[in-house]
Amino acid sequence: MTDRSALSPAASNVRPLRPGLDQPVARNPGVPFDPGWFDTLRVNLSAVERRVATLGTRRSVKKDAQAAWLLKAITNIDLTTLNGDDTAGRVKRLCAKARQPVRADLLEALGMSHERIRTGAVCVYHRFVATAVEALAGSGIPVAAVSTGFPAGLIPHEFKLKEIAASVADGAHEIDIVVTREHILTGNWLALYNEIRDFRAACGDAHLKAILATGDIQTLSNIARASMVCMMAGADFIKTSTGKEGVNATLAVSLVMVRAIRDYHERTNWLVGFKPAGGVSTAKGVLNYQILMKEELGRRWLEPDLFRIGASSLLADIERQLEHHVSGRYSAFHRHPLA
């Protein structure tokens, strides 16, 4: 997929490879800007399409194994509400669902009542960060705030930094920022790098997820280059979409981004997470993303500190599938409310 001959040697500031499943992942500090890492990146669209076409066919996940994979997927979900009619009450109900994403009777029937099944995070606008932090107190579930003029990202740069700082001050553990698409579309990679570096500094201890808005930046080659620049600038995660574009997460885009993560890891030994968002709404669909992560990056990237899924309706469909696994019957969608 990439022209490796054009890429520079690995950074010398390295750390041990692949921590264990129960070991924390050190944050990606970034590396100095070097356009030689990405200037000649090219993506073969036909090869990408052939690869993603095999994801649902090469590996069959059924019955108990499927239930286990779906329970795992729940722990990767950033349970999200980003609507114009959001209220404090809706956010509180969403947080209650994040604490107990699967009905207790289903967990008991699955033999999982002893396990602490929680979602990976709750994602809200800045206005509701404090509400979510209070509702999730003691749960260990982090609050993620969308920031920097989400979803368009066209407010002045100084306002973006202030919004990040305000969300961190209110208790957000993670900040999902939107990049300036113009930098990507015009090939101004240094401006993109400097922007992400500023956002990373403003986040302090909060983790930075860089949203590329892949539906807006047109080409897979642009997506590969933007992914690499964001990681070079210190992004802890790269994320496909805001969920507000005409086209959001797809397997083709995700393949390009996770291979950029793999390239970055091979060069620097730093681990960067991945978050598809928007359009991942079915249990069948999320299995393909899990298989993609497992096959392209390895088992460590199935843990919530390196893999998140931005979704809302996905959780309801997973719960329906788990109920079918237990009872043999599909329940109505409205019996699995979120907020």
| 62 has catalytic annotation | no
Whether 238 and 228 have beta carbons less than 8 Å apart is answered as no
SS3 letters for 55-122? CCCCCCCCHHHHHHHHHHHHCCEEEECCCCCCCHHHHHHHHHHHHCCCCHHHHHHCCCCCCCCCCCEE
Query: Which of 239, 263, 305, 317 is labelled catalytic?
Result: 239
Contacts of 195 (CB under 8 A, 6+ apart): 157, 179, 180, 183, 233
Peptide bond into 151 cis (omega under 30): yes
Backbone angles phi, psi at 252, to 5 degrees: -65, -50
Query: Which of 176, 198, 216, 263 is labelled catalytic?
Result: 176
| 239 has catalytic annotation | yes
| 244 has catalytic annotation | no
Query: Which of 216, 275, 305, 317 is labelled catalytic?
Result: 275
* Helix-then-strand count for the chain, H and E: 12, 8
Residue 125, classed as helix, strand or coil, is: coil
Using CA atoms, how far apart are residues 54 and 148, in angstroms rounded to an integer?
37
Whether 209 and 236 have beta carbons less than 8 Å apart is answered as yes
Angle at which helices 283-296 and 313-327 cross, to 10°: 100
How large is the greatest C-alpha to C-alpha distance in the chain, in angstroms? 56
Helix locations, 236-329, DSSP H: 251-268, 283-296, 313-327
Whose CA is closest to 175, among 184, 167, 183?
167
> What's the order of all strands across the beta sheet hosting 309-311?
273-275, 237-239, 207-211, 174-178, 143-147, 121-124, 77-80, 309-311
Catalytic residues: 176, 239, 275
